[in-house]
Structure 1
């Protein structure tokens, strides 16, 4: 019973924190992190300890899966070069540079343990980076790079953590075995991800019940992770590949009802998991501080050195990694180099989060399985310090940096123009389909359908017009919502008076709700 109460309390605090964040205009992970830090020092609250399997198996897969579902595969493919430079190159360099820095400060600690710490703090977080980037309004390519980096860097970091731990326990690990292990795990993850995506796509094609579609979608990331872990492949790569493939094809695999319902289910799941994980990060601070077992000066020095190295190294990597490829004429002919402000913003968007939290908990206990003595609690504290400092420092200042460097993208007009052009083509295709299948249909029905196509085309062009005045589509939406409220009120009165059963009210209200939700979506 106590565990159920704890879970309910965590979810409730996460919901309240997210609501407060929206009211104050902050990003929810930052508010929940601060809330957890404060609650960890409330007298009487029990210590919080998160098992790494809970994060790696229970929380990380659905977060990565939904992020992959929402990622544009064509945009991801176009930005693959900078994504791989960050997700693989920067993670490997960061792990070894941090390992060298920590080993210089703590020469008695085995170098393998220092590299393990470097791999733990190397990958930026998908949740915090993309949430803040979208809120700031960064250019789409920049957001795609941050999303792609956060989706793939976890696999590189987790594999390197495992190899470093194996070396710490006495297993000989050289450069060749490391490269082979990374390639084997990543390749296995790709194969498992594609196989899982193929199987899930087959199921979705056959399923006609939207509830079963939701159930299959919710189970998919967990099944993929379990299979990948059993086969010793990269579960992160497998989940990401599955999500990218299915997200790209959901328009053809699912019915309209399933897509609408699944979007709502995943939005709620993502909202709750994000809130709980960042709250847990803050709640563990007190127990970490109390069990470090190292002098405070050493703790501060190592934490400051790691955080400072992470920030500076990301800047040192971004500029040559961005512009070195433009030395090749073929690359310059294909695309223009970005202004220097773009890699600067990407360099500053290096917030750490859920993967660092989970990976830190996997550090082995000294004395077990041949692991030599090393300051495990200090390393876990440093990992948490990196999460807290980068989220609070970079997360809160990223909007200011983007505004100062003028990296924000106003794509409203561009999007409206593109939508209007495609909507015109779609309208032509719809009219051709109508003419080809209108034989025998009442003329009034055909006229209504033609008017509907014209209305949708006109709505798209209206977005390019004067935004200061109420457009015809906006007036339509406002008036239709008032009409829907009046219709809904009449049905409720009829139900209350016993003139219609509850089932009739439910059916009518569902139709009105769908229409109203579509009106609100058009307003957005």
Structure 2
């Protein structure tokens, strides 16, 4: 089966899994684990993607879509969460897993053990969000998990790259050199991300075509990753910086681009998810064909690694719970031991673990020797996925019921109402600044603003006014300008809210998307 046909078939399977997940109210990434396991037992090669192309193919878009869900403001707001979870917990998990692997696997050196630790340490925000659509996770907990998932990839990938480089060179890891390389790579990555985002934004400003503008966001992550990698900087950090800067400089009037961009990346993320699970299935298939019954022993050790991942996370969160209580930080999660358990179960591994596992080379070292630990690392990664994604994803509703962890959805809905009201207020003020409005139009202003606030103009109301046909046409045109002004002011309010302290970017984007949809519909009718 050719690579292209294999990808198409895998995409169709992924679409079916998504639909099955919707029907049975189960997170589809968890169900994709079963697809990967199934592929492992189907004989024959299906995808044939070279290992050295896996990371450049999968990582840039995955990192870009994750960074799209946040902002510089959110980065500053939640720096404590980032330091505690994305940095502290990731490094702690990597260290504990690496130590366990070094003791558990005979003959495994420290670099290979670090590779495994880095592979399985970062939870995946995509998996968490998929689960959140099927179970009522408290927003504060979900927000912490999402923030953790947005930045822990960078930390884990830096460790992974350094450990893999040590394996390829055959040299020992030097902590001082590691820190120096990281700092230099960090500075260069920031420069690459900022310059590329600024350049592409300048080019996009020259075009009025929403599809062409959205297509530029394909160049952005891949360009940032490849340029940074070519100068030995961190491609991961370059992509994150480029995405954050590009999103910061967007205009309230970039309506069609946002809609096209959001739709494109949702589709791309789904296809890449299917491809990643297919590749891990093939990787496991290779292990089965090469090691036969010995795989069961590898599976047993992999389950021990998975157990260590879960226990380490639980211990870290329980300690953090006590710290939060002592410091009196009510907005931090977790606050109780129940929340610590939920967040432990919510630390689902996903695409990054998959991408790193399938990117492992078959031959490594100065002498291009066979990478004997590769099979063990792949099996261990699969077991971590089974425990933290499949089992955790499917049992999360049961866990929430047993622990009786209350949903904070009402708080989220309140913030959404406040955002809608603020946008409508801005629209109302903007309309009243318009001059020479006919009385029939003035009488309709309140209705227009009320409709904007309640449903963000889900349908355009243009009713006949009891005047002659020419006056009606004139007033319709004026009413169109009123609506256009109202929508522009509301978009401006939401863009400002996204960059202000206290507003959740996810909630703002949800309200903004409704506004963009209505604006796009009105422009098509124009």
Q: TM-score range by the shorter chain?
A: 0.7 to 0.9
Q: Match for residue 348 of structure 1?
A: 345
Q: Match for residue 232 of structure 2?
A: 232
Matched, 1:210 2:210: yes
8 Å CA contact retained: 1:83, 1:148 = yes
Which of 348, 372, 375 is the equivalent residue of 2:373? 375
| 1:116-155 pair list within 5 angstroms | 116-155=115-154
Distance 1:303 1:336 in 2: 29
Which of 445, 448, 452 is the equivalent residue of 2:448? 452
Q: Match for residue 390 of structure 1?
A: 388
Distance 1:150 1:170 in 2: 32
Deviations 1:471-506 (A, max 9, x none): xx99x89x99xxxxxxxxxxxxxxxxxxxxxxxxxx
8 Å CA contact retained: 1:68, 1:240 = yes
8 Å CA contact retained: 1:438, 1:446 = no
Matched, 1:357 2:354: yes
Report the secondary structure of 1:5's partner residue: helix
Matched, 1:158 2:157: yes
8 Å CA contact retained: 1:105, 1:302 = yes
8 Å CA contact retained: 2:334, 2:340 = no
Distance 1:320 1:57 in 2: 37
| 1:294-313 pair list within 5 angstroms | 295-296=294-295, 298-313=297-312
Distance 2:421 2:121 in 1: 47
Q: Match for residue 406 of structure 1?
A: 404
Distance 1:300 1:153 in 2: 26
**Deviation (angstroms), 1:306:** 1.0
- The number of residues matched between the two structures is 467
Deviations 1:29-51 (A, max 9, x none): 122221232243245x4355543
Distance 2:55 2:392 in 1: 25
Distance 2:318 2:130 in 1: 24
- Alpha-carbon spacing, 1:404–1:371, altered in 2? closer, same or farther (3 Å): farther
Q: Match for residue 63 of structure 2?
A: 64
Report the secondary structure of 2:250's partner residue: helix
Q: Match for residue 36 of structure 1?
A: 36
8 Å CA contact retained: 2:64, 2:240 = yes
Unaligned runs of 5+ in 2: 463-516
**Deviation (angstroms), 1:11:** 1.7
Q: Match for residue 469 of structure 2?
A: none
- Larger displacement relative to structure 2 (271-280 or 21-30): 271-280
Unaligned runs of 5+ in 1: 461-472, 481-513, 520-524
Which of 419, 434, 439 is the equivalent residue of 1:437? 434
- Alpha-carbon spacing, 1:102–1:196, altered in 2? closer, same or farther (3 Å): same
**Deviation (angstroms), 1:123:** 1.7
Distance 1:219 1:13 in 2: 28
Report the secondary structure of 1:163's partner residue: helix
- Larger displacement relative to structure 2 (196-205 or 90-99): 196-205
**Deviation (angstroms), 1:212:** 1.6
Q: Match for residue 485 of structure 1?
A: none
Which of 311, 332, 336 is the equivalent residue of 1:339? 336
Distance 1:302 1:350 in 2: 20
Distance 1:167 1:72 in 2: 34
8 Å CA contact retained: 1:113, 1:374 = no
| 1:274-293 pair list within 5 angstroms | 274-292=273-291
**Deviation (angstroms), 1:424:** 4.2
Structure 1 vs Structure 2 CA RMSD: 3.4
Report the secondary structure of 1:137's partner residue: coil
| 1:508-519 pair list within 5 angstroms | none
8 Å CA contact retained: 1:323, 1:337 = no
Distance 2:314 2:10 in 1: 36
Distance 2:240 2:415 in 1: 29
- Alpha-carbon spacing, 1:389–1:426, altered in 2? closer, same or farther (3 Å): closer
Report the secondary structure of 2:433's partner residue: helix
TM-score normalised over the length of structure 2: 0.78
